[in-house]
Amino acid sequence: METALITGASTGIGKELARIIAEKGTNLVLVARSLEKLENLKIELEAKNKVSVFTIALDLSEANAGLEVYEQVVQLGLEVTYLINNAGVGLYGEFYATDWERENTMINLNITSLTQLTKLFLKGMMERNRGRIMNVASTAAFQPGPLMSVYFASKAYVLHFSEAIGYELRDTGITVTTLCPGPTISEFKDTASMGESRLFKQKGIPSSAAVAEYGYKSMMKGKSVAIHGWKNRLLASSTGFAPRRLVLAIADRIQGRSK
Ligand SMILES: NC(=O)c1ccc[n+]([C@@H]2O[C@H](COP(=O)([O-])OP(=O)(O)OC[C@H]3O[C@@H](n4cnc5c(N)ncnc54)[C@H](OP(=O)(O)O)[C@@H]3O)[C@@H](O)[C@H]2O)c1
């Protein structure tokens, strides 16, 4: 039976992806730090669907956390068909003033553990010549982001890394999708300390469920880059030809503190 591993499955987009995938009858491995939230989700998903759900409560920003997850999955005797690297955090503020510990955690989570998990699970997928990987980046991946400089740069890494390995794998049975959400309703805004930002004050911000549905469909189609929402797609494509200075000014304006 197929198994999907989702990081950051305790809330937001990851939790909704778990709900969608369980409905398809696919077993799940749910990873995040909050054991209680994961266990509650496991109970919900197993009650509603004919699936087995396994939980791994772990801080993915710790060194070699990806290896720890991989070893636990091997011990469970599971073969991961779908790897969804969704866990990620942001941090708002001028770089000179932000906290290094939080930035270091962000880099370890958004970049290092995502890369290690991809490397480890890709091996088995290569042997079976079958699998789908979805890495969650952001519309932040398409330009530098004043006031969230490290976060934007981390998501540019996720996009470029995922596109590159997707290309390497083009003649295999494995696809790599980068999901790029714009602002989405979840815990993200609060954990990133974005209370003052204009970004989340706009109308029509989509739910995590809507973004997850779009992400799931894009992954199943094997789409390389999946940007959620037409406005986000327009903005992302415009950064390619607009002058860098203008791109920075627009990003600053969108991200800026609301009066
Ligand atoms: N919401 C947005 O506006 C938005 C926009 C663009 C991209 N994204 C991206 O979408 C992804 C999902 O975010 P979301 O919006 O669903 O936010 P969220 O509700 O805050 O979910 C983040 C998930 O990551 C987990 N997580 C955080 N730190 C972790 C750590 N050190 N180790 C393991 N798990 C950790 C959290 O669980 P625990 O706290 O239980 O560990 C949670 O399950 C992220 O990669 C984010 O960058 C979000």
Q: What is the mean pLDDT of residues 176-189?
A: 96
In this prediction, residue 196 carries a pLDDT of 83
Q: What is the mean pLDDT of residues 54-76?
A: 98
Provide the pLDDT for residue 259. 57
Of 85, 86, 157, 254, best ligand 1 pocket probe by most atoms within 8 Å of the beta carbon: 86
Q: Which of 38-47, 129-138, 186-195 has the lowest mean pLDDT?
A: 186-195
Residues labelled as active-site residues:
151
Question: What is the C-alpha to C-alpha distance for residues 30 and 115, in angstroms, rounded to an integer?
Answer: 18
Residue closest via CA to ligand 1's atom 41 equals: 33
Sheet holding 3-7, edge to edge: 53-57, 27-32, 3-7, 82-85, 131-136, 174-180, 225-227
Q: Report the nearest-CA residue for atom 44 of ligand 1.
A: 88
Looking up residue 25, the CATH number of its domain turns out to be: 3.40.50.720
**Looking at residues 176-199, what average pLDDT do you find?**
93
- For the CA of 151, the closest atom of ligand 1 is 47
Q: Output the six-digit token pair for 155.
A: 């998501």
Task: Kindly give the number of the ligand 1 atom that is closest to the alpha carbon of 109.
Answer: 31
Residue 24, CA distances (Å) to 38, 210, 245 in order: 19, 17, 46
Nearest atom within ligand 1 for CA of residue 38: 40
212 has a pLDDT exceeding 80: yes
State in Å: Cα 173 to ligand 1 middle. Answer: 28
Range of the domain at 162: 3-255
In 3D space, the residue among 224, 96, 103 whose CA is nearest the CA of residue 160 turns out to be 224
Least confident of 49-58, 160-169, 236-245: 236-245
* Residue 170: Cβ-neighbour burial (10 angstroms; 0-12, 13-18, 19+): exposed
Cα of 33 from ligand 1 centre, angstroms: 11
Is the pLDDT confidence value at 258 over 80? no
Ligand 1 atom closest to residue 34's alpha carbon, by position in its atom list = 40
The residues facing 83 across adjacent strands are 5, 133
Give the distance (Å) from ligand 1 centre to CA of residue 174: 25
pLDDT score, position 241:
86
Residue pair 17/84 in contact (Cβ under 8 Å)? The answer is yes
Does residue 86 surpass a pLDDT of 90?
Answer: yes
Of 110 and 242, the one with more pLDDT: 110
What is the whole-number distance in angstroms between the Cα of residue 112 and the centre of ligand 1? 15
Instruction: Label residue 20 by pLDDT band (50, 70, 90).
Output: very high
Which residues line the pocket of ligand 1, CB cutoff 6 A?
A: 8-14, 32-34, 37, 59-61, 86-90, 109, 136, 138, 181, 183-184, 186-188, 191, 208
89 alpha carbon – ligand 1 mean position (Å)? 5
Q: What are 168's two structure tokens?
A: 């390497």
Shortest-distance Cα residue to atom 43 of ligand 1: 8
Q: Looking at the 3D structure of the chain, how many domains does it have?
A: 1
